[in-house]
Amino acid sequence: MELLRSDRGRRWLYQNVRKRLRSHHESICLRRDLTEPFTPPPAKIPFVVRQLQPDDDLSLIADEPGLSPQVAQLRADQRWLLESDLPRPWVAIDQDGAVGFMAYLLTAEDNARIETLWGDWLPQLKPDEVMLEGLFTSAKHRGLGLAPDAGTVMVQKMVDRGIRYGLGFILTRNSSSLRMGEKGGWMPYLRREEDWFLFRRRVRFLPLNGESS
């Protein structure tokens, strides 16, 4: 009932019910061979990449008055991920010590967690794959090229663990993020189709030649 007491909550509920009645969504899986040398366009600010620490300021994902429904949902998603049992996210820290970008690096060791949290919406990973999930850039760090540069640094750290391929899903309608991924050396690899009809979901992963995977 708490959800229905705010305009934001009612909008969220309406949108999700409508989605589950009937909808179709497509995403592109981008992939990069991490053994091939690649230098992404440098970010416009210096940064350091490391895993999140307990004393890091997470105000970038805080719930605040006046947020648009879309931004509020994105921040809520990040808080949900933090409360899960996923490994600690990786973060890019700017020169002032602020978290500017964060992402989760998931491997085959996390397959059970992936299935619990996302079901069939994300694929089970192979031993030589790492998936970038939950990418989030703070409002004040957008437009600085932080995501492709920091994301590249993050996934490259996995090569010493026997990882060869980096994967990440982006909605097809998010053309700016797709372009940003390609600037980071990530190329289209798979298409994910998600269909809802009368509260039942079907997910398919298709190679770009259209055959089932």
Q: Could you give the CA distance from residue 147 to residue 123 in angstroms, rounded to a whole number? A: 23
Mention every residue, 6+ apart, whose C-beta is less than 8 A from residue 20. 196, 199, 201
pTM confidence score:
0.85
If pLDDT is split at 50, 70 and 90, which confidence band does 115 have?
very high
pLDDT at 165: 96
pLDDT of residue 14: 58
Residue type at 76?
A
User: How far is 34 from 125, CA to CA, in rounded Å?
Assistant: 16
Q: Indicate whether 128 belongs to any domain.
A: yes
DSSP conformation letters of 12-35: HHHHHHHHHHEEEEEEEEEEEETT
Query: What tokens does 131 get?
Result: 């998936």
DSSP letter string, 132-194: EEEEEE-GGGTTSSHHHHHHHHHHHTTGGGT--EEEEEEETT-HHHHHHHHHTT-EEEEEEEE
- Cβ atoms of residues 167 and 205 within 8 Å: no
- Is residue 16 situated within a structural domain? no
**Can you give 123-148 as a three-state secondary structure string?**
CCCCCCEEEEEEEEECHHHCCCCHHH
Q: In CATH, what number is assigned to the domain containing residue 158? A: 3.40.630.30
Range of the domain at 141: 24-207
For residue 12, being part of any structural domain is answered with no
pLDDT digits (tens, 9 = 90+) for 136-153: 999 999 999 999 899 999
Domain membership of residue 95 (yes or no) is yes
pLDDT of residue 70 exceeding 70, the answer is yes
CA 160 to chain centre: 23
Check residue 2 and give its pLDDT.
Answer: 42
The answer to whether residue 10 is domain-embedded is no
Number of domains, the chain? 1
Encode pLDDT of 74-110 as tens digits. Answer: 899 999 999 999 999 999 999 999 999 999 999 999 9
Supply angle C-alpha 45, 91, 44, rounded to 5: 10
In a domain, 105, yes or no: yes
Is the pLDDT reported for residue 41 higher than 80? Answer: yes
Strands 47-51 and 99-107: unpaired
Question: What distances in angstroms separate CA 154 from CA 54, 120, 151, 158, 197, one per listed residue?
Answer: 19, 25, 5, 8, 38
